[in-house]
Amino acid sequence: MSFDVLQDKIRAMKNPTVAGLDARIEYVPAHIREKAFAEFGPGRKGAAEAIWQFNVGLIDALCDIVPAVKPQAAYYENLGWQGMEVLERTIQYAKTKGLFVIADIKRGDIGSTASAYAEGWLSGTKINGETFKAFDADCVTLSGYMGSDSIKPFLDAARIENKCVFVLVKTSNPGSGELQDIVAGERLVYQIMGDLNERIAAGTEGKYGYSIAGAVTGATYPSDIRALRKRLQKTFFLVPGYGAQGGTAEDVQFAFDKYGHGAIVNSSRGIMCAWQKTRRDGLDFADAARHAAITMRDDIQKFVTIV
Amino acid sequence: MSFDVLQDKIRAMKNPTVAGLDARIEYVPAHIREKAFAEFGPGRKGAAEAIWQFNVGLIDALCDIVPAVKPQAAYYENLGWQGMEVLERTIQYAKTKGLFVIADIKRGDIGSTASAYAEGWLSGTKINGETFKAFDADCVTLSGYMGSDSIKPFLDAARIENKCVFVLVKTSNPGSGELQDIVAGERLVYQIMGDLNERIAAGTEGKYGYSIAGAVTGATYPSDIRALRKRLQKTFFLVPGYGAQGGTAEDVQFAFDKYGHGAIVNSSRGIMCAWQKTRRDGLDFADAARHAAITMRDDIQKFVTIV
């Protein structure tokens, strides 16, 4: 089952981190931007191609350090179809480099609509009896507000493809508590969401004991993560909030089980925009990203030992 | 403010309905499919172009009957970037025909990511100081599980553009109760979501009294809608579930205020796939859709009088 694939990669690299590929055009170093605008025009196409070049540089620099990348769909959708075309290319390229790709899409819909999303991002769409894959990620993030109907179609697709999903449980943003922390009987809303998610995926556990339905659990709430780790023993965690959002390696350690398994920590701007702190105009963006990824790995290794 | 635009169109047509544009390739009549596959190949491009032709036919047939259309992003994403390109074209074309376009995307993310989505779907993205619009809908659907952080960036974009949003409150699917109907203190989770949404948008009410943050409230739960109409007096409702999902005109009447304002009812397959019931191989798909839309309008008019 699919978190096995990710956990194997994490073990091989001794690095439970995922690098975000969330480029706004402003995050792309000037020399790449200017070249792309000159070649493809100063609009959406030029911006999309600049981001593509930036992504290729990041992927090449990171693929022997981090096991996974996480492109955030919003930063491709805001460039329209040209952005989506670059997202397809980025996912494909990352996979050819051996990276596990988590498409951060946070989709949440039901029935045949959820199935269509699952086709687009995981299993491919049938046209005249032939299957055509579009974004073809290894894993997607989902929102479960609409209930199990909005998760199950993705699990069906994931099971067939040996893929997996992460469902939003406890997020890392300041406003996350407004709904997620509401007390409902003896549980909080996010605990209900987490329990529901683990129940839906029961029976899909792989060799590490984790089901194909993981959970997003933010690093800005370490005591919550510790409790969730205990509560959801079959749920793999995606932990955002490290670095830019204030979460530390000491905080995220509680997301892991006693073998150092069962979680992956995200950093986006901390790696992708590391060049902004070296004062070399981004000419060193790939080295800066690689250095930041190594520093993050070593930082987490101080608190997490992966067996 | 923006629901004024929609309500004005609804009043002019005496028709509070929105037609879904949710085409799977199987829903496109054979004569259109075959022509597109012959011209553009039997893959994603051919399927996307077939759906484009189908959409144009539907829009032409419906634009003087219904005030709005609602393309569902999933049915374009599952064809990858070619599908997204057709979605851009479809939104633009519907607007040139005077239709109000609700992009059913159910996005839900935070901070700069939410802003990027809002750029992509409502306000446009700045590249080198110039703004480029991508999907450019009049309105989008959103998920608020992550809290107000995930709604506010869209309201900021909507306010500037005279646009609006619908946030998932009580959905029409069987599993919607698993999270949404949980009792939390004196309220249910969906009531908390609805209250939160109305509070966030306070002060943005237009001439009909509705704020720019509407709510999705499913037609399969009429007693819930009646209570929500009373509870959320400044919230415009998008009502899915009519027809295929079992909701009737008698059910949906409770979504409207005493002037027959404040709500719009969706039908997707009931209109789009009406040709499947006429046994004419889809040659009459446009007429069949138009006839179905007129029937739906007349059906709702029996229960709702729009002042």
pLDDT, tens digit, 9 for 90 and up, residues B120-160: 999 999 999 999 999 999 999 999 999 999 999 999 999 99
For position B21, which CATH number holds?
3.20.20.70
B145·A180 Cβ contact <8 A: yes
Distance from A11 to chain B by nearest Cα, in Å? 30
* The pLDDT value given to residue B222: 83
Task: Identify which of A181, A185, A182, A172 has the alpha carbon closest to the alpha carbon of residue A255.
Answer: A172
- Would you say how long chain B is, in residues? 307
**ipTM of predicted assembly, 2 dp:** 0.97
The alpha-carbon gap from A305 to the nearest alpha carbon of chain B, in Å, equals: 31
3-state DSSP helix/strand/coil percent for chain B, to nearest 5?
Answer: 50, 20, 35
Which residues, in sequence order, are CB contacts of A231 under 8 Å at separation 6+?
A191, A194, A195
Main-chain phi, psi angles of A157, to 5 degrees: -65, -40
Sign of CA dihedral B272, B278, B282, B283: negative
Secondary structure (DSSP) of B107-126: E---HHHHHHHHIIIII-EE
Closest partner residue to B81 (CB to CB) among A84, A109, A133 is: A84
Q: Determine, yes or no, domain membership for B307.
A: no
Q: Characterize the bridge pairing of strands A130-132 and A125-127.
A: antiparallel
Number of domains in chain A: 1
Q: Please state, in angstroms and rounded to a whole number, the distance separating the CA atoms of residues A84 and B81.
A: 5
Is A185 an 8 Å CB contact of chain B? yes
Would you call B207 helix, strand, or coil by DSSP? Answer: coil
pLDDT band at B1 (very low <50, low <70, confident <90, very high): low
- Per CB-CB distance under 8 Å, the chain B contacts of A133 are 80
A131 in contact with B, Cβ within 8 Å:
no
pLDDT mean over A152-160: 98
B11 CA to chain A: closest CA distance, Å?
A: 30
Nearest to A223 by CA among A199, A198, A188, A193: A188
What is the structure's pLDDT at B120? Answer: 98
Q: Among this protein's residues, is A170 annotated catalytic? A: no
A77: contact with B, CB 8 A cutoff: yes
Nearest CB to A148 within list B127, B144, B178: B178
- Residue ranges making up the domain that contains B190: 2-301
With CA atoms as reference, report the closest residue to A73 among A45, A103, A49, A42.
A103
pLDDT value at B16 more than 70: yes
A306 falls within a domain: no
Q: Is the pLDDT of residue B301 over 90?
A: yes
Cβ–Cβ below 8 Å for B80 and A135: yes
Q: Which of B72, B117, B146 is opposite residue A171, by nearest beta carbon? A: B146
Domain membership of residue B159 (yes or no) is yes
Q: Identify which of A188, A14, A42, A209 has the alpha carbon closest to the alpha carbon of residue B131.
A: A42
Structure confidence at residue A2 as a pLDDT band (50, 70, 90)? confident
CA distance B261 to chain A (A): 26
Across the A:B interface, residue pairs with CB atoms under 8 Å apart total 243
Asked whether residue B13 is domain-assigned, the answer is yes
pTM: 0.98
Name the pLDDT band for B183 (thresholds 50, 70, 90).
very high
Among B72, B75, B147, the residue with its CB nearest the CB of A173 is B147
**Per-residue pLDDT, A220:** 76
pLDDT for residue A1 is more than 70 = no
Does the beta-carbon distance from A145 to B145 stay under 8 Å?
Answer: yes
Taking the C-alpha atoms of residue B106 and residue B188, their distance in angstroms, rounded to an integer, is 21
Question: B48: buried, middle or exposed (CB in 10 Å: 19+, 13-18, 0-12)?
Answer: buried
Buried b / exposed e over A263-275, threshold 16 CB at 10 Å, is: bbbbbbbbbbbbb
Classify B185 as helix, strand or coil.
coil
**Position B223, amino acid:** S
Q: Which entry of A14, A35, A95, A106 is annotated as an active-site residue?
A: A106
* Contact predicate B5/B58, CB 8 Å: no
Domain assignment present for B306:
no
* Token digits of residue B195: 């209250």
Average pLDDT in chain A: 96
- Report the pLDDT value the prediction gives residue B224, as an integer from 0 to 100: 87
* Residue B36 within a domain: yes
Task: Give yes or no for B107 touching A (CB within 8 A).
Answer: yes
Residue contact A25–B147, C-beta within 8 A: no
